[in-house]
Amino acid sequence: MTDHHVNININDGEPFFAHEMSMNFTPTQFTLDFKCITPRNDPRNKESASFLLKHNVVMLDPWHAKAIHNVLGSVLKQYEKDFGKIEKPAAIAKAEKKHKKTQKTEGAETPSYLG
């Protein structure tokens, strides 16, 4: 019997903090789009805001999406057992309330990036 060697190259990628996530599906796959939105200051253009949007897309078949759902549920349950119930931060609740008031008074539908 001879020994066989296997070379494996691993590309770890960059760490990524997601402020937002959107999800979509077709009959054969789920698509998760993790987004990081960061404001930028551009000294050349003081009249309009600039944002940097980075995103990482993960595509899964339905079986794997269900497996992730089960694992995430289990991990969240253990986290809350160890550290207490996860609740929406007060600052986010306040910002959402303010956003809803602004929509009612201005009458315009604006997108919410608060979840």
Higher-scoring residue by pLDDT: 19, 84? 84
pTM higher than 0.85: no
Indicate if the pLDDT at residue 114 is higher than 70.
Answer: no
User: Range of 38's domain?
Assistant: 20-105
Residue 10 counted as domain residue: no
Residue 94 counted as domain residue: yes
Give the separation between CA 89 and CA 45, rounded to whole angstroms. 33
Residue 92 counted as domain residue: yes
pLDDT at res. 115: 46
Residue 3 counted as domain residue: no
Give the separation between CA 85 and CA 72, rounded to whole angstroms. 15
β partners of residue 33: 22, 57
Residue 78 counted as domain residue: yes
Q: Phi and psi for 37 in degrees, rounded to 5?
A: -110, 120
β partners of residue 21: 34
What is the domain count for the chain? Answer: 1
Indicate if the pLDDT at residue 61 is higher than 80.
Answer: yes
Residue 114 counted as domain residue: no
Give the separation between CA 50 and CA 21, rounded to whole angstroms. 20
Residue 57 counted as domain residue: yes
Residue 11 counted as domain residue: no
